[in-house]
């Protein structure tokens, strides 16, 4: 527990862990503030590339192909991240010049499913251009996608965002109410005053996602040498992540809704990912020739 004269920025009361002075900005360049969130996104991209390049080297592939994939994949992922968010949050952007709204990243608004779709499209383009099977690229990069997501999610901690509703479970997280982003009214109703400061106490859903993504990454990497058909690894990624995101999205309070349906867009996309993945995995196993007994 923090001393009586200390009011932490972020606090895990049931774990006895607290953090004072958690910065949102890392440093300034010519008066332009660089967010911690941005640094973790860049670190995630770099780590994802080096993991893919390492595996490519081990399997006799050309590492340069994955550098080309990185150079195309990053802008396409950013394009997907932003457009996906804007489409399902259109009321906040209607009437604004598109380019001005698109490049207003400092105002928030990136959606991971859009980034995944953009990155996969980049894989299609690079595969066609270089004559590399799409499944080779994606099976190599599936763990890298997860690693990038894991590291990138740490940015949510510094941004005080991507959290859930009130909880008092073991991992409950308190955030100063004057620092947290996008607080829903029902969360404020459960606000707690401690050490003279008003806190919200919520599910740290970004930490849940980091944990389960790490488990999925390890399982995929262990299974990859034993895959039954080309493309199975990326399908296990879309299946596993779809399941993880479906349940975690249900806890979040900053959901993007699927137009006027009242249903979270990420849960709908998760169901699509899971169903398509299961069908293609079953189809892949059915096509795989059964070895003849000698």
Digit-coded pLDDT (tens) for 194-213: 999 999 999 999 999 999 99
Question: Does the residue 268 lie in any domain?
Answer: no
Q: H-helix or E-strand containing 34?
A: strand 32-35
Question: Does the residue 262 lie in any domain?
Answer: no
111 touches 266 (CB < 8 A)? yes
- Three-state DSSP class for residue 7: coil
* Count of alpha carbons within 13 angstroms of residue 151, beta-carbon side: 18
Q: Indicate the pLDDT class of residue 89, thresholds 50, 70 and 90.
A: confident
Question: Using CA atoms, how far apart are residues 71 and 69, in angstroms rounded to an integer?
Answer: 6
**In this model, does residue 108 exceed pLDDT 70?**
no
The pLDDT of residue 119:
94
Place of tokens 């990185």: 70
**In this model, does residue 50 exceed pLDDT 50?**
yes
The pLDDT of residue 282:
95
Question: Using CA atoms, how far apart are residues 80 and 153, in angstroms rounded to an integer?
Answer: 17
Question: Does the residue 25 lie in any domain?
Answer: no
Sorted by sequence, the CB contacts under 8 Å of residue 43 that are 6+ apart come out as 151, 152
Question: Does the residue 246 lie in any domain?
Answer: no
Query: For residue 128, what are the domain limits?
Result: 31-164+203-229
Q: What is the mean pLDDT of residues 249-272?
A: 91
The pLDDT of residue 4:
75
Q: What is the mean pLDDT of residues 25-29?
A: 86
Task: Count the neighbouring beta carbons within 10 Å of the beta carbon of residue 183.
Answer: 19
Partner residues linked to 134 by β-bridges: none
**In this model, does residue 74 exceed pLDDT 90?**
yes
Question: Using CA atoms, how far apart are residues 6 and 230, in angstroms rounded to an integer?
Answer: 55
Question: Does the residue 271 lie in any domain?
Answer: no
Question: Does the residue 126 lie in any domain?
Answer: yes
What does the pLDDT look like over 281-291, one tens digit per residue? 999 998 865 45
Counting residues of the chain whose pLDDT is more than 90, the rounded percentage is 72
Partner residues linked to 192 by β-bridges: 199
CA dihedral 74, 75, 81, 83 (to 10 degrees): -170
Count the domains in the chain: 1
The pLDDT of residue 258:
86
Question: Does the residue 68 lie in any domain?
Answer: yes
**In this model, does residue 105 exceed pLDDT 70?**
no
**In this predicted model, which residue has the larger pLDDT, 95 or 7?**
7
Question: Using CA atoms, how far apart are residues 55 and 139, in angstroms rounded to an integer?
Answer: 10
**In this predicted model, which residue has the larger pLDDT, 109 or 105?**
109
Question: Does the residue 190 lie in any domain?
Answer: no
DSSP character at residue 257: B
């Amino acid at each position: 527990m923090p001393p009586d004269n200390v009011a932490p920025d972020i606090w895990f009361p049931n774990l006895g862990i607290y953090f004072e002075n958690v910065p949102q900005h890392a440093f300034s360049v010519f008066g332009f503030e660089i967010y911690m969130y941005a640094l973790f996104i860049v670190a995630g991209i770099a780590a994802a590339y080096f993991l893919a390049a390492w595996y490519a080297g081990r399997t006799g592939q050309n590492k340069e192909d994955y550098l080309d994939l990185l150079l195309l994949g990053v802008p396409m992922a950013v394009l997907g991240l932003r457009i996906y968010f804007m489409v399902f949050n259109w009321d906040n952007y209607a009437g604004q010049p598109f380019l001005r709204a698109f490049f207003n990243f400092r105002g928030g608004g990136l959606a991971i499913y859009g980034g995944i779709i953009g990155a996969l499209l980049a894989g299609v383009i690079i595969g066609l251009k270089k004559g590399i099977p799409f499944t080779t690229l994606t099976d190599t990069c599936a763990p890298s996608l997860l690693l990038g997501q894991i590291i990138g999610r740490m940015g949510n901690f510094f941004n005080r965002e991507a959290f859930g509703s009130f909880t008092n479970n073991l991992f409950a997280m308190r955030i100063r109410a004057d620092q947290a982003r996008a607080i829903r009214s029902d969360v404020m109703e459960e606000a707690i005053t401690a050490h003279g400061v008003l806190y919200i106490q919520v599910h740290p859903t970004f930490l849940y996602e980091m944990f389960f993504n790490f488990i999925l990454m390890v399982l995929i990497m262990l299974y990859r040498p034993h895959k039954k058909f080309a493309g199975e690894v990326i399908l296990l990624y879309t299946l596993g992540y779809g399941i993880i995101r479906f349940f975690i999205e249900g806890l979040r309070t900053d959901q993007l809704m699927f137009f006027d349906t009242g249903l979270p867009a990420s849960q709908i996309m998760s169901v699509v990912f899971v169903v398509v993945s299961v069908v293609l995995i079953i189809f892949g196993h059915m096509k795989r020739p059964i070895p003849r007994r000698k």
